Amino acid sequence: MAVVIEKKTNWATWQYLLLFLVPYLIVGWDTLKEAAEGLLHGEALSEDFLMSVATLGALGIGFMPGAETQFPEAVFVMLFFQVGEMFEELAEGRSRKSISHLMDIRPDSAHVERGGKLETVHPEEVTPGEVILVQPGEKVPMDGIVLEGNSSLDTVALTGESVPRSIHAGDDILSGCVNLSGVVRVKTTKAFGESTAAKILDLVENAAASKSKSESFITRFAKIYTPIVVALAVLVAVVPGLITGQWATWIYRGLMFLVVSCPCALVISVPLTFFGGLGGASRKGILIKGSHLVDKLSQVKTVVFDKTGTLTEGVFEVTAVHPEVIDQTELLHLAAHVERHSTHPIALALRNAYPNEADTCSVEGIEETAGHGIIATVNGKKVAVGNSKLMDKLGAAWHPCHHNGTIIHVAIDGEYAGHIVISDRIKADAAEGIQALRNAGIGKTVMLTGDQESVAAAVAQALKVDEYHAQLLPADKVAEVEKLLSQGTLAFVGDGINDAPVLTRADVGIAMGALGSDAAIEAADVVLMDDKPSKIALAVQIARRTLRIAQENIALAIGIKVAVLVLAALGLATMWMAVFADVGVTVLAVLNAMRALKA
């Protein structure tokens, strides 16, 4: 669009300039100011500087002999540039909001019991071991154990799950959750800086610190691309002008080059896409520790799982009792008494199976042998509870069991008395999670476990994993992962402290149910805030979608800019086309980037 004004006198041109200069300064003052500040700081090729030069040049063309005035174009170019800036700010605000919702988990105060009184203090002033009171509607300020009270917790900020979780006396409670109903007394177990809420906030605040490959490429590209296009704009304006003498025409085309050359569509939309992807994932309870990990996660070909606590609940229970010389109740009774002081999950399962442990029985001389079991004297009888190695050591004639699970053998005074089968439940959505990975194009799923071969085989068969390895020590898991690394980008999923070395060695370490292990949170690249294996496939899909949107924006911006640059050089483009190639493409790219928010 070109507005032709009959040029009778320079005074008439000045009048028209003054007419358009008022709206130009109103809409463009901030841009002109930013451009001037950029020059003072050595940033001459900023988008504000390029836009200022282009529009000021358009205003000046009107005073050249035989040239058409471009005053309206200058005003509208600046206006649309500001509209584009507005869209960018709105989009960035939404992206930041998608992550900043996690900041709501930060507790403001804690009610602590001191000297028989209730004091309200900042959570940082509470020390581990103190007792706090959490009332309905308040955020839980510290990690701890519930001493008294029953309630429901809103865990959506931590896990992305909207279903409240019930808690009772003896249960663990995590900071950042919202107490929905009853008053609870909690004994704190961690300082505020080490609590779940503090760790999550630290992850979120540092998530955007590292750039993805795409973002790094765009930064390098902009530094090379912009100076080249500016140099071309100068050549387009000067060289043909010297040859033809049509300075107004070629300066106008050079100014279009400057408008088109602004790389804001790339520089803004690509980081915005990754920021939106990180925010969308966080809303689903998936914390990704940086944009560069989105790249890696999108390329995952092999997923390796730990078994206990990752694919299974990590909660053991008695599933079968096979007595030989005494009845089932008596066998459980003796085993529970022998294991009464052990903290091992197997011991807890035995005690849960025989809840009437507090009786008048005498339990003396408890001896525990690591890797074998425990021997104790119960009512004068020497009772041994452990694995087959312990039975061999005692000379008890044990025999295997056809049930899958951990077999706990019992001998009384050296005579075999039977065995108890203890199993770990497979998580409800473990099979769904494995199938979802297969549907997402993951080529191979592998399970690694320190458990015995029969147990591992049963779980692997139930979940239909492609491969499994049993009876592994932590070092063995690292060795197995190193063998698989040659087959493509590998993600390892674990939950415990013993998984930290493998999480670090994998291309992408994913901490499953990582609220239970600080070491796993520190070592992992991706933290899943609940225990659902199905979230792994979702994390991969979010990463792939985010990367695809970023690539779409790169192709869109570069393609349109190159096309308009060519048309401008041939004299077939107008300033309005140049505006679209800059501001219009930026708005389209930003709107496209917003799709990354929807995980």
Residues with Cβ within 8 Å of 64's Cβ and at least 6 positions away in sequence, in order, are 247, 248, 251
How far apart, in whole angstroms, are the C-alpha atoms of residue 147 and residue 117?
Answer: 17
Q: Which whole number is the average pLDDT over 105-116?
A: 81
Residue 1 pLDDT more than 50?
no
Which CATH number is 315-425 given?
3.40.1110.10
pTM check: above 0.85: no
- The pLDDT, as a whole number, for residue 100 is 52
Determine the average pLDDT of the residues in 570-599. 77
Q: Mind telling me the catalytic residues? A: 306
pLDDT at 107 over 70: yes
Fold of 275-312+427-544: Rossmann fold (3.40.50)
* Complete edge-to-edge strand list for the sheet that includes strand 312-323: 312-323, 415-426, 406-412, 381-386, 373-378, 363-369
HSE at residue 226, side-chain half, CA atoms within 13 A, is: 23
- Cα 305 to its chain centre, rounded Å, is 18
Residue 598, pLDDT score: 75
**pLDDT single digits (tens) 260-294:** 776 666 767 777 788 788 878 878 888 888 778 88
Q: Which residue in 225, 268, 344, 277 sits closest to 336, CA to CA?
A: 344
Residue 67 carries which DSSP code?
Answer: P
Report, as an integer, the average pLDDT of 525-549. Answer: 89
User: What pLDDT sits at residue 548?
Assistant: 92
- H or E segment and range at residue 302: strand 302-306
Q: Where in the chain is the domain with CATH 3.40.50.1000?
A: 275-312+427-544
Q: State the residue for tokens 């799923």.
A: 445
Q: Is 50 exceeded by the pLDDT of residue 324?
A: yes
Q: Which amino acid is at 455?
A: V
Q: Could you give the C-alpha distances from 544 to 146, 278, 591, in angstroms and in order?
A: 41, 12, 18
Within the chain, all domains assigned CATH 3.40.1110.10 are found at 315-425
177-225 residue pLDDT tens: 888 878 899 999 888 877 766 666 665 555 545 555 665 665 666 667 6
Bigger pLDDT: 24 or 420? Answer: 420
- pLDDT for the residue numbered 64: 60
Please tell me the predicted confidence (pLDDT) of residue 502. 82
55 vs 85: CA distance, rounded Å: 16
* Least confident among 118-122, 220-224, 294-298, 305-309: 220-224
Sorting pLDDT into bands at 50, 70 and 90, what band is 88? low
